[in-house]
């Protein structure tokens, strides 16, 4: 991309408004050091020195949108518990003030607690219920989407399989958004793949794409087969398959395929990289980029994200610098 084109697109980031709907999580980190093995069992004893908390899941997607300078409206479900209050605090610390968090007393706030010794994760503890949300919560979300649609540029569906993204919610939301001509991006979960029909783009990794198509992607030929199969079967406008160290491949409805080489110089932690991809892709597309430009920008953003520990957010200025300094 030419520098003037990068400037035109990134200057429009602040005008973009994105609705993010999906499974929200609180990422907790307990940091410490290991000095000995427990006498009770053959496990390390971690002496915790500090605790931190971060946004995960759909909340991390919304935070990525905000870090890029866009405006995000976050919709999700929390429990009636102290972790919900901690989540709200962390959300405000990350500049997310426009939200609709439904409290469901039947389920806990989804929390991923990671114990880290030095820079090595020792264990992760998950606190969650993955039952589908009630019809009443579904109706509430759809009413919010219908109300906000005129003021939105795009919608991101962030599906982590924790119960928020249901068939009823997807079908109602996709129908409304398509009628309004809104860009719809989906970060998919394998079990719901067949329900993501008629959207603008889905962003599976190569394992997910291979699994749902019944083909293990071990060659370029199989990648090609899987890409066009999913694009046609789901009636997508585009499909972006992320391929780890091989970069990304974009398939578009006009039968154009674009391979984008990997941007990461150092891979330290891939946690949340998919969130960075879909957020930067959607913001760029909503700011006037075509799909190839948006995928290129998302690839650069992901390269920055995986060089950091934990769920990282890339700011607009960091992204611009990386885009302009590419060799």
CA geometry: angle 308, 10, 157, nearest 5 deg? 65
List residues bridging with 78 in a β-sheet: 103
- The residues, any chain, with a CB within 8 Å of residue 197's CB and separated by 6 or more, are 174, 234, 235, 236
In the prediction, which pLDDT does 103 show?
96
Q: Is 290 within 8 Å of 277 (Cβ atoms)?
A: no
What's the average model confidence in pLDDT over 224-240? Answer: 96
Which among 156, 125, 215 is positioned nearest to 24, based on CA atoms?
A: 156
In the prediction, which pLDDT does 268 show?
45
CA separation for the pair 166, 92 (Å, rounded): 27
Active site residues: 275
In the prediction, which pLDDT does 271 show?
56
What's the average model confidence in pLDDT over 193-201? Answer: 93
In degrees to the nearest 10, what's the CA dihedral of 61, 67, 71, 77?
Answer: 30
Burial class of residue 316, CB neighbours in 10 A (0-12, 13-18, 19+): middle
In the prediction, which pLDDT does 313 show?
83
Model confidence at 184: pLDDT above 90: yes
Least confident of 26-35, 246-255, 271-280: 271-280
CA separation for the pair 275, 295 (Å, rounded): 13
Per-residue confidence band for 269, with pLDDT thresholds at 50, 70 and 90: very low
Q: What is the pLDDT of residues 142-175, one digit of tens each?
A: 999 999 999 999 999 999 999 999 999 999 999 9
Sequence spans of domains, the chain: 3-25+55-110+127-324
* CA 103 remoteness from chain centre: 22
CA separation for the pair 59, 233 (Å, rounded): 30
What phi and psi, each to the nearest 5 degrees, are found at residue 12?
-90, -5
List residues bridging with 232 in a β-sheet: none
In the prediction, which pLDDT does 179 show?
97
Q: Is 34 within 8 Å of 43 (Cβ atoms)?
A: no
In the prediction, which pLDDT does 97 show?
83
In the prediction, which pLDDT does 265 show?
57
Model confidence at 187: pLDDT above 50: yes
Residue with tokens 């469901």: 104
* Residue percentage of the chain with pLDDT more than 70: 96
Q: Is 176 within 8 Å of 149 (Cβ atoms)?
A: yes
Domain 3-25+55-110+127-324 indexed as CATH 3.40.1190.20: yes
Average pLDDT, the chain: 92
Model confidence at 306: pLDDT above 80: no
Q: What is the pLDDT of residues 77-118, one digit of tens each?
A: 999 999 999 999 999 998 888 889 999 999 999 999 999 998
Q: Is 78 within 8 Å of 100 (Cβ atoms)?
A: no
List residues bridging with 243 in a β-sheet: none
What's the average model confidence in pLDDT over 61-78? Answer: 95
Q: What is the pLDDT of residues 289-300, one digit of tens each?
A: 999 999 999 999
CA separation for the pair 244, 205 (Å, rounded): 8
């Amino acid at each position: 991309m030419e520098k003037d084109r990068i400037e035109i697109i990134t200057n429009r980031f602040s005008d973009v408004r994105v609705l993010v709907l999906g499974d929200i999580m609180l990422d907790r980190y307990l940091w410490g050091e290991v000095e000995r093995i427990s006498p009770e069992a053959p496990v390390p004893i971690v002496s915790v020195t500090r605790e931190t908390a971060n946004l995960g899941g759909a909340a991390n997607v919304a935070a990525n949108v905000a870090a890029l300078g866009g405006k995000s409206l976050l919709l999700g479900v929390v429990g009636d518990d102290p972790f919900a209050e901690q989540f709200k605090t962390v959300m405000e610390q990350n500049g997310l003030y426009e939200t609709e968090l439904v409290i469901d007393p039947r389920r806990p706030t989804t929390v991923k607690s990671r114990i880290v010794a030095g820079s090595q994760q020792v264990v992760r503890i998950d606190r969650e219920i993955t039952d589908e949300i009630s019809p009443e919560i579904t109706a509430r979300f759809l009413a919010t989407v219908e109300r906000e649609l005129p003021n939105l540029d795009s919608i991101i569906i962030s599906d982590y399989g924790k119960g928020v993204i249901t068939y009823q919610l997807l079908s109602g939301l996709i129908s409304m958004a398509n009628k309004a001509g809104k860009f719809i991006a989906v970060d998919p979960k394998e079990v719901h793949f067949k329900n993501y029909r008629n959207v603008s783009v889905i962003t599976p990794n190569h394992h997910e794409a291979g699994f749902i198509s019944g083909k293990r992607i071990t060659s370029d030929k199989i990648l090609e087969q899987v890409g066009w199969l999913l694009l046609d079967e789901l009636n997508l406008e585009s499909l972006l398959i992320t391929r780890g160290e091989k970069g990304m491949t974009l398939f578009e409805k006009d039968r154009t395929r674009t391979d984008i080489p990997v941007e990461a110089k150092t891979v330290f932690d891939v946690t949340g990289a998919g969130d960075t991809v879909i957020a930067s892709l959607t913001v760029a597309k909503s700011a006037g980029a075509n799909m190839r430009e948006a995928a290129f920008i998302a690839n650069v953003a992901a390269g920055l994200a995986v060089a950091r520990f934990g769920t990282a957010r890339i700011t607009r200025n960091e992204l611009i610098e990386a885009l302009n300094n590419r060799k």
